[in-house]
């Protein structure tokens, strides 16, 4: 077993545990990273094992969960995949792609995962800790747990909660979500299921998502402190009071309440949607309202349709066909609608998708595993064994010349086909990254492999102005900062609220 290197001057690791999934661990870890950065520390975000299809690519082309990238930005350091050494990307049917230290290692079945992947996963975790501590000798690890730490049927094979806390002798914060109800039982029950050694690591309690007057919880706070012997270090208010829906840091919990907007965008809520953070910058546009459409629902009359990325492109495409959503999209295009696809969404817009190796789960369907796409963009996609993972700085051609940042994260390569080659135009000087067909009625069909395209303020506004022009709306200024600046404001707002309501000293005092 690899032992992480520990500098005698390194501060004690902190760990954020939750009484359940969705208790708010990720946001709390993000806030702690920014608060400690303000104090002059070097916070090192770390989640040993994460399960997510919302990914980021680091500077070396390694895959990691977007939530750890967000925490790294809050810490003021560059995200690296050592911060999330084990990433599981669900593929459906109890199967997940396994990523170790940024590299794809294979496909795991949930029933045999811990038998086949536990040892190598723990090795990746300890190597990730070593890498971080070697790079940042005086940094403090800010560990994020996963789910509940006391799932009794899983504790013996836990990779990322109490095993890690004990291994690093971390000072742990237990977060409970009062919005779910039963907050006292959540906390008392969790503590009761800990061993004495594990119980000694818990140094404080935090109540999350409290609505109303916090003074009304004084009696409950006193009771918890008396019964547990632990300080309640904070009672955080319901975050939607601080982050309006367009500013929320968690896209899937948003409820868009914009009463007025000049543009409406329909985003296809694919069953295996991935990298939904691509849409965050559009959510933040005050003139734009986004609504989500699941297969089987009415697409309505939006100003544009966006098909995002997918972890199971072909299966999600088949759902679009079987639900009748494909006919709705085609009818929308025929009537002059705009459609934009990102990564797997772009592949779906194409004429054919060819999967000879069964990368997308099509093995055995026919000799060539050729799948028909929506046939709205004349491209063909061929899935090969290798995966493209890289950060990019590219020169855009469409809708206007500008430089953009983003990243590639996909299986499959696409190319224009057939007689329509003269109609389809590349979006970038790098012609492999995306294409567009502009129609005579000022509508377009376009797609790109570049995740993060909407993060680029100038490009995003130019894209929106195409739609606005068609509606006869005034152009928006393209002198717009990139979304990273907006994200900084949101992180600071989160940290401000955290500092106002939480006292970290019981965790920081050794």
Contact 435, 447 (CB under 8 A): yes
Residue 278 vs residues 253, 274, 304, 306, 372: alpha-carbon distances, Å: 15, 9, 16, 11, 26
Q: Encoding tokens for residue 205?
A: 């309690």
Residue 396 annotated in active site: no
DSSP string, 139-186: -EEEEE--S-TT-TTTGGG-SSSHHHHHHHT-EEEEEEEGGGS-HHHH
Query: Which of the residues 343, 396, 410, 411 is marked catalytic?
Result: 343
d(CA 344, CA 313): 6
Which residue in this structure is represented by tokens 């079987």? 322
As a whole number of angstroms, the distance between CA 236 and CA 253 comes to 17
Is position 94 annotated as part of the catalytic site? no
Peptide bond into 289 cis (omega under 30): no
> Which tokens is 334 given?
């025929």
- Residue with token string 């009761």: 192
CA 442 → CA 91, 465, 466, distances in Å? 38, 12, 8
Alpha helices, H only, 304-441:
313-322, 325-334, 344-349
Active site residues: 343, 451
């Amino acid at each position: 077993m690899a032992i992480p290197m520990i500098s005698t001057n390194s501060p004690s690791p902190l760990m954020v545990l939750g009484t359940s999934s969705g208790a708010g661990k990720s946001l709390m870890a993000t806030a702690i990273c920014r608060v400690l950065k303000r104090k002059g520390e070097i916070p090192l975000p770390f989640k040993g094992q994460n399960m997510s299809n919302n990914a980021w690519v680091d500077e070396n082309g390694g895959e990691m969960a977007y939530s750890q990238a967000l925490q790294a930005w809050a810490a003021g350091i560059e995200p690296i995949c050592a911060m999330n050494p084990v990433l599981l990307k669900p593929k459906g049917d109890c199967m997940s792609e396994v990523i170790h230290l940024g590299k794809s290692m294979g496909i795991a079945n949930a029933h045999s995962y811990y038998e086949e992947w536990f040892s190598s996963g723990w090795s990746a975790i300890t190597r990730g800790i070593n890498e971080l501590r070697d790079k940042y000798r005086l940094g403090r690890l800010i560990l994020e747990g996963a789910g509940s730490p006391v799932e009794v049927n899983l504790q013996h094979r836990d990779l990322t909660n109490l095993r890690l806390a004990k291994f690093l002798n971390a000072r742990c914060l237990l977060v409970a979500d009062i919005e779910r109800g039963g907050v006292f039982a959540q906390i008392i029950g969790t503590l009761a299921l800990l061993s004495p050694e594990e119980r000694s690591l818990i140094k404080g309690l935090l109540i999350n998502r409290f609505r109303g007057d916090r003074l009304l919880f004084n009696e409950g706070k006193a009771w918890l402190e008396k019964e547990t012997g632990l300080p309640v270090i904070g009672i955080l208010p319901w975050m939607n009071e601080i982050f309006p829906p367009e500013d929320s840091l968690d896209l899937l919990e948003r409820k868009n309440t914009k009463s007025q907007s000049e543009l409406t965008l329909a985003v296809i809520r694919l069953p295996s949607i991935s990298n939904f953070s691509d849409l965050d910058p559009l959510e933040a546009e005050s003139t734009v309202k986004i609504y989500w459409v699941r297969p089987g629902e009415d697409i309505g009359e939006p100003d544009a349709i966006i098909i995002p990325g997918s972890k199971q492109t072909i299966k999600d495409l088949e759902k679009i066909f079987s639900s009748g959503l494909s006919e709705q999209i085609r009818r929308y295009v025929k009537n002059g609608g705009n459609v934009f696809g990102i990564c797997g969404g772009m592949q779906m817009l194409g004429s054919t998708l060819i999967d000879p190796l069964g990368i997308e789960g099509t093995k055995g369907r026919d000799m060539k595993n050729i799948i028909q796409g929506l046939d709205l963009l004349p491209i063909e996609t061929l899935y090969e064994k290798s995966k493209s993972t890289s950060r990019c700085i590219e020169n855009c051609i469409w809708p206007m010349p500008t430089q953009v940042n983003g990243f590639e994260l996909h299986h499959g390569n696409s190319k224009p086909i057939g007689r329509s080659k003269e109609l389809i135009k590349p979006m970038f000087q790098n012609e492999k990254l995306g294409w567009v067909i502009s129609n005579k009625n000022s509508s377009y069909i376009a797609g790109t492999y570049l995740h993060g395209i909407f993060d680029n303020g100038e490009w995003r506004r130019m894209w929106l102005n195409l739609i606005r022009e068609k509606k006869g709306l005034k152009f928006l200024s393209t002198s717009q900062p990139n979304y990273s600046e907006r994200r900084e404001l949101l992180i600071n707002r989160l940290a401000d609220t955290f500092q106002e309501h939480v006292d970290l000293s019981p965790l920081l005092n050794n």
